[in-house]
């Protein structure tokens, strides 16, 4: 079975962060280690629970195996190592790959649709309401960058064949509009911190879009 590559694993650890004592995440779910919750399987996370860094590594390995298996079985088209890693990260975070529009479009060979769909998963439930999460905006931006980096499929010397001509097409425009809408949501605050954060995220997305288009043109 194919596994997440070292680059993807490092990124995932950065995005999840390591917490050795149980805490409640943004949605109020008890979490420990590298984003482990009871829904992911053993061990059950309880209030006050404490683990070692070695235990956190073992738990992460167990959790990752489930999402690696899901990406291996759900995706029917060739993927580069970095594309595989980006999808494992996305599914690890959301658990929604199996019924996502992203998967449906990708399995039809529409590789360009993946960044568009990733950019839409930036909402978190806080106090029963769906709100734009700055952390998720940053994570999706990084996953898009990971998806766009690298063009060779593992064990092959040929790049992934583009589903559409390598130009900025309608999907790219849609992606750009989605990004602007996402960043716009962050401007709801009026303080300088909100404005600075939104500006940084806008630049990050712009760089991701530029890299993605350049990779598609070079393919």
Residue 76's pLDDT is 98
How many CA atoms within 13 Å lie on the side-chain side of 51? 24
Catalytic annotation present for 25: yes
Catalytic annotation present for 16: yes
- Phi/psi for 129 (5° steps) reads -120, 145
- Phi/psi for 88 (5° steps) reads -65, -45
Residue 186's pLDDT is 47
Query: Distance between CA 79 and CA 86 in Å, rounded?
Result: 10
- The pLDDT tens digits for 68-91 are 999 999 999 999 999 999 999 999
Q: Which residues of the chain have pLDDT under 70?
A: 150-219
Domains recognised in the chain with CATH numbers: 6-218 (1.10.530.40)
- The pLDDT tens digits for 146-184 are 999 964 554 443 344 443 333 334 344 344 545 544 444
Which member of 6, 14, 25, 42 is catalytic? 25
Nearest to 101 by CA among 118, 87, 85: 118
Tokens of 110: 């529409």
- Phi/psi for 148 (5° steps) reads -80, -15
Which member of 16, 91, 112, 143 is catalytic? 16
């Amino acid at each position: 079975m194919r596994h997440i590559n070292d680059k993807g694993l490092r990124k995932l650890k950065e995005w999840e962060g390591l917490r050795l004592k149980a805490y409640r995440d943004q949605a109020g779910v008890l979490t420990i280690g590298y984003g482990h919750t009871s829904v992911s399987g053993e061990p059950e996370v309880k209030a006050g629970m404490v683990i070692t860094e070695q235990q956190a590594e073992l738990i992460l390995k167990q959790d990752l195996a489930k999402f690696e298996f899901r990406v291996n079985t759900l995706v029917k088209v060739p993927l580069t190592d970095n594309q595989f890693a980006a999808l494992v990260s996305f599914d690890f975070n959301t658990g929604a790959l199996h019924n996502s529009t992203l998967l449906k479009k990708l399995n039809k060979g529409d590789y360009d649709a993946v960044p568009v769909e990733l950019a839409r998963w930036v909402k978190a439930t806080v106090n029963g309401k769906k709100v734009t999460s700055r952390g998720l905006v940053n994570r999706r931006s990084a996953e898009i960058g990971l998806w766009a980096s690298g063009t060779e499929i593992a064990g092959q010397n040929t790049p992934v064949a583009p589903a559409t001509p390598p130009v900025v097409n309608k999907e790219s425009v849609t992606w750009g509009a989605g990004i602007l809408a996402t960043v716009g949501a962050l401007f709801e605050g009026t303080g300088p911190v909100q404005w600075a954060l939104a500006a940084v995220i806008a630049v990050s997305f712009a760089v991701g879009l530029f890299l993605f288009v350049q990779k598609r043109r070079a393919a």
